[in-house]
Chains A and B, each alone.
Chain A
Amino acid sequence: MRTDVAARPYAIAVGAVLAAEAALLVSNAWQYDWLRGYDAFANDQYAAILTEEHRLPSPGESGVWHTPPLWFALTGALRRAAIEHGWGPAQRPGQLLAAAAGLAVCVLVLLLARELWPGRHVLHVVALVLAASSPALVRASAMYHPETLAVALASGGALVAVHALRTRWRLWSSLGAGALLGLAGLTRAWALPVLVAVALAACLDAWCRRRWAPAAVVVVTSLVLVGPWLVNQQVAHGSALAFNRPAPEGSILSRRPASFYFGPRTLRALEHPVTPLFRNELVPHLYADWWGDWALTWDSPPPPAPGELLPSGVVAERARQAVIGLVPSGLALAGVLALSLLAVVRRSAALAVLPLTALAVAAAYTLFALRYPSTDGDTIKGTYLLMALPAATIGAAFVVDVLRPRGRGWAVVTAGGVVLLVAVQLPFLIL
Chain B
Amino acid sequence: MTERRAARLGLVAALALVAAQLTVGAAWSLTHDDPTEFELMRGCLVREKGLQVEGATDDPVASSARGGALRTTVEGNLVTLSVATSRAEVERLRAAYSAAGDPGVRLDVRGRYLALWLRDPSPTQRQATYDCAY
Measured CB to CB, the residues of A under 8 A from B are 1, 262-268, 283-284, 304-309, 311-312, 326, 329-331, 333-342, 345-346, 395, 398-399, 402-403
Residue B99 at the chain A interface, CB threshold 8 Å: no
Contact, CB under 8 Å: A307 / B28:
no
Q: Contacting A334 at CB < 8 Å: which of B11, B24, B111? A: B11
Q: Contacting B7 at CB < 8 Å: which of A308, A334, A346? A: A334
Residue B47 at the chain A interface, CB threshold 8 Å: no
Residues of A within 8 A of B24 (CB): 262-264, 266
User: In the complex, what distance in Å separates the CA atom of A403 from the CA atom of B26?
Assistant: 30
Contact, CB under 8 Å: B3 / A402:
yes
Residues of B within 8 A of A265 (CB): 25, 28-29, 34
Residues of A within 8 A of B52 (CB): none
CB<8 Å pairs between A and B, sample of 29: A263-B21, A265-B28, A265-B29, A266-B21, A267-B25, A284-B25, A308-B110, A309-B86, A309-B111, A326-B18, A330-B11, A330-B14, A331-B11, A331-B14, A333-B10, A333-B13, A334-B7, A335-B10, A336-B10, A337-B10, A337-B14, A338-B7, A338-B10, A338-B11, A342-B6, A346-B1, A398-B3, A399-B11, A403-B11
Measured CB to CB, the residues of B under 8 A from A are 1, 3-4, 6-11, 13-15, 17-18, 21-22, 24-26, 28-29, 32, 34, 84, 86-87, 90, 110-113, 130, 133-134
Q: Quick one: which of B14, B86, B110 has the most chain A CB within 10 A?
A: B14
Contact, CB under 8 Å: B3 / A342:
yes
Apart from A309-B84, A342-B6, list 16 A-B contacts with CB within 8 A.
Answer: A1-B3, A263-B25, A264-B25, A265-B25, A267-B25, A268-B25, A268-B29, A307-B110, A330-B11, A331-B14, A334-B11, A338-B6, A338-B10, A341-B9, A398-B7, A402-B6
User: In the complex, what distance in Å separates the CA atom of A312 from the CA atom of B86?
Assistant: 8
The interface residues of chain B, by DSSP majority, are classed as helix
Distance in Å from the Cβ of B76 to the closest Cβ of chain A?
24
User: In the complex, what distance in Å separates the CA atom of A346 from the CA atom of B3?
Assistant: 11
Distance in Å from the Cβ of B26 to the closest Cβ of chain A?
6
Distance in Å from the Cβ of B121 to the closest Cβ of chain A?
16
User: In the complex, what distance in Å separates the CA atom of A305 from the CA atom of B112?
Assistant: 11
The interface residues of chain A, by DSSP majority, are classed as helix
Distance in Å from the Cβ of A180 to the closest Cβ of chain B?
28
Contact, CB under 8 Å: B134 / A307:
yes
User: In the complex, what distance in Å separates the CA atom of A307 from the CA atom of B38?
Assistant: 11
CB-based nearest B residue for A344: B1
CB-based nearest B residue for A345: B1
Answer whether A399 and B26 are a contact pair too, CB < 8 Å, given A309-B90, A330-B15, A342-B3: no
Contact, CB under 8 Å: B32 / A341:
no
Answer whether A307 and B18 are a contact pair too, CB < 8 Å, given A334-B7, A402-B3: no
User: In the complex, what distance in Å separates the CA atom of A337 from the CA atom of B21?
Assistant: 17
Answer whether A338 and B9 are a contact pair too, CB < 8 Å, given A264-B25, A264-B28, A312-B86: yes
Contact, CB under 8 Å: A330 / B18:
yes
Contact, CB under 8 Å: B10 / A283:
no
Q: Quick one: which of A264, A283, A312 has the most chain B CB within 10 A?
A: A264
